Amino acid sequence: MPQNLTLNVNGQAHRISVDDPKMPLLYALRDDLGLGNPRFGCGLGQCGACTVHVDGQAIRSCTIPVSLVANREITTLSGLGTAEKPHPLQTAWIAEQVNQCGYCINGWIMTGAELLARNPHPAEQEVRDALSGLICRCGTHNAAVKAVLRASKA
Amino acid sequence: MRERDLNQLDRRSFLTAAGAFVVALATPTEWAEAAQFDSAAAAGVRPDRLSSYISIDRGGTVTAYYGKIDGGQGLETSVAQLVAEEIDVPWDRVRVVMSDTAQCVNMGGSTAGNGLRQGGIILRQTAAEARRLLIGLASEKLGVPASELTVTDGVVHFVSDPSKRVSYGELIGARPLDAPVEYHGEAQRLTVKVRAPLKKPEEFRVIGKPYPRRDLPGKVFGTLQQVTDVKLPNMAHARMIRPPVAGAVPLTVDQKSISDIPGTQVVWIRDFLAVVAEKEWNAVKAAQRLKVTWSESHPGFPGHEKLFDHIRNAPVVARSSDSNVRAAGASQERNEGDIEEAFRRAAFVLEGEYEYPTMSHASMGPACAVADVRDDGATVYTSTQKPFDCQLGIAELLEFPPEKVRAIWMFGTGGYARDAQGDATADAALLSKHLKRPVRVQYMRFESLAWDPKGTASVSRNRAGFDAQGKVIAYENITKSFSMEDCNTRERHPQDTLAGMALGHPLNWRAAFGTPGNNYQFDNAHWGWELIAPLMDRSSPLRTTHLRDPFGPPLMFGSEAFVDEMAVHAKSDPIEFRLKYISEPRDRELLAAAAKQYGWDSRPSPTTAQPGTVATGRGFAYRTLGGTLIALIAEVRVNRDSGVVEIPRIVVAHDCGLIVNSETIRHVIDRQIIWQTSRTMIEELRFDDKMVQSVDWLSYPVVMMPGVPRSVEIVTIDRPDQPASGAAEMACGPLPAAISNAVFDATGVRLRRIPFTPERVRAALARGPEQAVKASL
């Protein structure tokens, strides 16, 4: 039986109809809302490529059921900041020229932004610890740490 | 690829519509040539036309058509620099179109880090030629000899009086700039010859500067449209169904098992099996739930633990010395003097073996592609590294002439070299043809790891003969392995993809391997290889192909670790030992640069005994590839109790000739070191007799934050008078040996099998130092 839900994404309310309330949020964002930026990496919550904020907390959208996040505040990478109004971490990310392929980027920036929100001036080891559950296959790890530290000093 | 590119009129239509308008050229002869060639413009993008490489619009914007791709290393940015430099427009007025087969000349896609060495140089040359022709036009218009004119920011003006000027846009007007171009070869062997000289290093304004990556803002703000994000009207989502045992084929399919999932459908063609749904999640669910009975299959794989015994014992089916291998240009064998005679008179013979395991590309995202197959042609959106070969393979699969298939390359799901992107593209094309609607396929995580084509496992056999004075008089390096091409590195035919093999095509095997790159000069030497048969004759999850730097880590681990053993035998410092056998000045300068940056003090390995749990050591390795030279020093801290090897510091000295972008090159090298750290310390594909067991990031672990080297110091040697020889993968090669050599330096124990997991390190330490030196007869 299809079920109607409201998803609040990047400040906009979207009414969607889902036929499976256990569908992971990622598919609602990509397929129903047409938001390409959270990416499918593993579907197992192991890599982080699908990370979004739910009420400010970094969550892996490939495993959380869409029905659990109805009416909560969801922010994706494209909602975190824009070229015109960038989040400080996005500015730092470009300054450090972090990425190669960039497919993992949601996990790193959204997790880094969550860290900065609760700890605006982290020590390097705190940054490394916060980013330790993420995968990047191009090897941007150290560059990502530099970007978070740069943003924390901005 | 931005959205507007997908919608724009293709250039063939543009050229046809432009009719016979061709700008007047610098000399009457060229004018005649151009007129003659123009009648053929309707034939589309051709390698003999300037407009196929460089075009300028009336607003003065330059477009460069790059028949290669950017795996994420900033080529779009660097190519724009090369073109902006030679044609003399600001960097941000150069647009780069990458590998759309309807818009670009085939430059062979991406291969061997040659994005600048081959494709970049073609665009640099044709940009210079365009500038020369435009100055010729301006000379006519302004009535002065070309020699009195120069260009600043797309405006041609008198050298003596910049106010007498005419812009590129004014010169061109509504007509496309075009001229014949002499070319030779095709694809990755394409070269062009133009009359315009290239700028000299002292004239560079753009080359060498740290322009920021163009693709990064779109990635950072989540606005870049990648292949995963293509959405076409009426597009269906598909997931492939793979057998639980390698070689099994579907016997029965229970469509009712997914009947409760809305909008789903099964597509079953011979052994090709997929589910399709209107919504992506429903395709995922249907793939998980579909009930299939499979045929019995007994692939009899050796398993990853016994793989090296299998490689040692299996009969050799091809060698680097075979005449047909040499004729096919796939040998790379090197011979000096007479090694057997030299080994017979050696005072000592040293031997050493090294093992490199099977690896998955393990790309960040599973492969993805979208296909739109119509009755009269097809368009595929793909992130394969070789879009022009993909175009041919898809055309053959769909039974279309090649010109009816357009392959549009887009940034994809990560991955370097021949991963599963071409397989996914063929799957999507076959499904779209069958369903008569656009289809998007993305693999699942288990498919990306278990079903991508693999990097080869190998055993490296080395021996060296020394005379009584300790001089190396004989040397041999043989890598025994699977071919690097169980599965072709290009998806040029259906049999080069899983879809094609599911339709009955056999594995497209070819004998191909390589030898380590270096400039050692031993009086008597043999560098070669031996291949064994593939583990299955089709659709194998263990089929081999090129994995990033295919001639690097698997070959260099053995050769450069063994050179370290040779230095130990000679009681010599490992860098000084190498320098005894290297005379090339560039190589010598490189080794010295690495040593200086590290603060290397001359002494043999191992270092003096270190009491306590943690031992520190340093290791060196070096390699050459395609004109690029890398010297690498790794520092390690070995915990003797836990077996954990930390890598606090890496020093890389890097000489790739001309440096086009002084920042992107450092990033590319830095990221490669972490990539190869993963492949040295952690990665190994696990499989049993039936199937690959590495199916997720727990069963195929990769490096995460705690395991990365904290400090990567990079020394770049810029040689602006030399060609840009490439930096995309070359730094990977020496890392495994450098780390192994560092562990030996710290502990006196040699690690001979990748990866250097804590269990392996503990076991090696428990065995203690080996007696590798044996007296000759």
Show me where the domains of chain A are located: 3-76, 80-153
* Contact: A81, B677; criterion CB under 8 Å: no
Cα(B414)–Cα(B750) distance, integer angstroms: 34
Superfamily holding A3-76:
Beta-grasp domain (3.10.20.30)
Average pLDDT (B11-18) is 36
- Taking CB atoms and an 8 Å cutoff, what residues of chain A touch B217? 83, 94
- On whether any CB of chain A is under 8 Å from the CB of B222, the answer is yes
Region(s) of chain B under CATH 3.30.365.10: 3-220, 227-298+367-443
* Residues above pLDDT 90, as percent of chain B: 88
Check CB contact under 8 Å for B229 and A36.
yes
Residues A77, B221: C-beta atoms closer than 8 Å: yes
Residue A119 sits at the vertex; the CA angle it makes with A118 and A124, to the nearest 5 degrees, is 140
Chain A nearest C-alpha distance from B16 (Å): 36
The answer to whether B98 and B71 have CB atoms below 8 angstroms apart is: no
For B307-360+453-532, the fitting CATH number among 3.30.365, 2.60.120, 2.60.40, 1.10.10 is 3.30.365
Instruction: Yes or no: say if B457 and B303 are a contact pair by the CB < 8 Å rule.
Output: no
Contact A103 B413 (CB under 8 A): yes
Kindly report the length of chain B: 777
pLDDT at B448 over 70: yes
Q: What is the pLDDT of residues B618-669, one digit of tens each?
A: 999 999 999 999 999 999 999 999 999 999 999 999 999 999 999 999 999 9
Q: Chain B 568-587, CB below 8 Å of chain A: which residues?
A: none
| B223 part of contact set with chain A, CB < 8 Å | yes
Report, as an integer, the average pLDDT of B455-481.
Answer: 97
CB contact under 8 A, B219 and A102: yes
Neighbour order of strands in the sheet with A3-9: A12-18, A3-9, A73-75, A51-54, A57-60
Tell me whether residues B412 and A103 touch, CB distance under 8 A.
Answer: yes
Model pLDDT, residue B186: 94
Q: Which two three-digit tokens encode residue A42?
A: 């593993």
| DSSP three-state, residue B469 | coil
* pLDDT at A52 exceeding the cut of 80: yes
Characterize B727-739 residue by residue with b for buried, 16 or more Cβ atoms within 10 angstroms of its Cβ, and e for exposed.
bbbbbbbbbbbbb
- How many Å apart are CA A86 and CA B743, to the nearest integer? 45
ipTM of this complex prediction, to 2 decimal places: 0.98
What does the DSSP assignment read for B296-339? --------STTHHHHHHHSPP-EETT-HHHHHTT----EEES-H
Would you state the pLDDT for residue B680? 98
- CATH no. of B227-298+367-443: 3.30.365.10
Report whether CATH 1.10.150.120 matches the domain A80-153.
yes
Question: Using CA atoms, how far apart are residues B741 and B752, in angstroms rounded to an integer?
Answer: 10
**A52: closest chain B residue by CA:** B222
Closest-approach residue (CA) in chain A for B367: A41
* Mutate which: B278, B681, B705, B712, vs A, most A CBs within 10 A: B705
pLDDT for res B176: 82
pLDDT at B40 over 50: no
Please tell me the predicted confidence (pLDDT) of residue B507.
87
**Which chain B residues in 494-553 lie under 8 Å from chain A, judged by CB atoms?**
none
Q: Taking CB atoms and an 8 Å limit, are A78 and B710 in contact across chains? A: no
Bridge partners of residue B237, in order along the sequence: B277, B440
Q: Which two tokens stand for residue B117?
A: 């060495």
Stated as kind and residue range, the H or E segment containing B10 is none
Spatial separation of the C-alpha atoms in residues B731 and B626, rounded to whole Å? 12
Answer yes or no: is pLDDT of B707 > 80: yes
pLDDT tens for B15-30 read 333 322 233 333 333 3
H helix runs in B88-154, sequence order: 121-142
B41 falls in which pLDDT band (50, 70, 90)? very low
| Pairing between β-strand B458-466 and β-strand B348-356 as defined by DSSP bridges | antiparallel
Please give the average per-residue pLDDT across B213-237, as a whole number.
Answer: 97
Q: Nearest chain A Cα to B218, which residue?
A: A83
Q: What is the mean pLDDT of chain B?
A: 92
Q: Is the pLDDT of residue B11 over 50?
A: no
How far is CA B393 from each of CA B44, B388, B423, B670, rounded to the nearest angstrom? 20, 9, 10, 35
pLDDT, tens digit (0-9, with 9 covering 90-100), for B746-777: 999 999 999 999 999 999 999 998 765 454 43
Q: Do residues B296 and B302 lie in contact, with contact meaning Cβ atoms separated by under 8 Å?
A: no
- Give the pLDDT score at B537: 87
Res B272 pLDDT > 90: yes
Question: Residue B715 belongs to what H/E stretch?
Answer: strand B711-717
Exposure string of B391-430, with b = 16+ CB inside 10 Å and e = fewer, is bbbbbbbbebeeebbbbbbbbbbbbbbbbbbbbbbbbbbb
- Give the span between the Cα atoms of B513 and B206, in whole angstroms: 38
* Least confident piece of the model among A121-125, B210-214, B239-243, B484-488: B484-488
CA neighbor of B456 nearest in space, from B537, B363, B555, B313: B555
* Surface of B (691-720) touching A: CB under 8 A: 696-698, 702-706, 708-710, 712
The tens digit of pLDDT for each residue in A17-48 reads 999 999 999 999 999 999 989 999 999 999 99
What local confidence, expressed as pLDDT, does residue B776 receive? 41
Please tell me which residue of chain B has the smallest CA distance to A124. Answer: B710
Strand order in the sheet with B94-98: B54-56, B62-66, B94-98
Average pLDDT (B86-98) is 97
Judged by a CB distance cut-off of 8 A, whether residue B233 touches chain A is: no
Q: Find chain B residues with C-beta within 8 A of A39's C-beta.
A: 228, 365, 413
Write the pLDDT tens digit of every residue in B317-358: 999 999 999 998 888 999 999 999 999 999 999 999 999 999
The H-or-E segment that residue B13 falls in is helix B11-18
pLDDT > 50? residue B249:
yes
Q: Does B413 have pLDDT greater than 90?
A: yes
Check residue B771 and give its pLDDT: 61
| Nearest residue of chain B to residue A90 (CA atoms) | B220
Q: Cα separations (Å) of A74 from A18, B595, B609?
A: 17, 51, 57
User: How far, CA to CA in Å, does B423 sit from each of B24, B255, B442, B484, B487?
Assistant: 46, 25, 10, 17, 11
- Closest chain A residue by Cα to residue B445: A42
Q: Which helix (H) or strand (E) holds B272?
A: strand B272-277
Q: Which amino acid is it at B418?
A: R
Residue B398, pLDDT above cutoff 80: yes
| Rounded Cα distance, B642 and B759, in Å | 8
Substitution target in A60, A137, A148 with the highest count of B β-carbons within 10 Å is A137
Question: Is the confidence at residue B180, as pLDDT, over 90?
Answer: yes
What pLDDT, on a 0 to 100 scale, did the predictor assign at position A18? 95
Nearest-Cα residue of chain B relative to residue A42? B445
Rounded to the nearest 10 degrees, the angle between the axes of helix B421-435 and helix B387-398 is 30
pLDDT at B122: 98
Cα gap B460→B480, rounded to integer Å: 6
Mean pLDDT of chain A: 97
User: How many beta-carbon pairs under 8 angstroms link A with B?
Assistant: 176
Q: Which residues pair with B381 in a beta bridge?
A: B370, B408
pLDDT in tens, B293-309: 999 999 999 999 999 99
**Per-residue confidence at A101, pLDDT binned at 50, 70, 90?**
very high
Average pLDDT estimate for B604-620: 95
pLDDT in the model for residue B381: 98
Is B279 in Cβ contact with A27 (below 8 Å)?
Answer: yes
User: CATH number of the domain at B3-220, out of 2.20.25.90, 3.40.1080.10, 3.30.365.10, 2.60.40.790?
Assistant: 3.30.365.10
DSSP chain A: --EEEEEEETTEEEEEEES-TTSBHHHIIIIIS---SS--S-SSSSS-TTEEEETTEEEETTTSBGGGGTTSEEE-HHHH--SSS--HHHHHHHHTT--SS-TTHHHHHHHHHHHHHH-SS--HHHHHHHTTT---SS--HHHHHHHHHHHHH-
- Angle, CA B488 vertex, CA B482 and CA B489 arms, to 5°: 100
Closest CA to B359 of B623, B676, B626: B676
Classify residue B200 as exposed, middle or buried by CB count within 10 Å of its CB (0-12, 13-18, 19+). Answer: exposed
Q: Cα–Cα distance between B308 and B331 in angstroms, integer?
A: 23
Q: Residues of A with CB below 8 A from B222's CB?
A: 36-37, 76-78, 105-106
Torsion angle, alpha carbons of B732, B737, B739, B742, to 10:
-150
- List CB contacts (< 8 A) between A140 and chain B: 671, 674
- Is the pLDDT at B45 greater than 50? The verdict is yes
Question: Which residues on A lie below 8 Å from B698 (Cβ)?
Answer: 46
Least Cα distance to B629 among B478, B514, B730 occurs for B730
State mean pLDDT over B691-705: 98
Q: Do A139 and B672 touch (CB under 8 A)?
A: yes
β B94-98/B62-66 pair status: parallel
Is residue A38 exposed (0-12), middle (13-18) or buried (19+ Cβ within 10 Å)?
A: buried
Q: Sort out which chain A residues have CB atoms less than 8 A from B363's CB and list them.
A: 103, 137
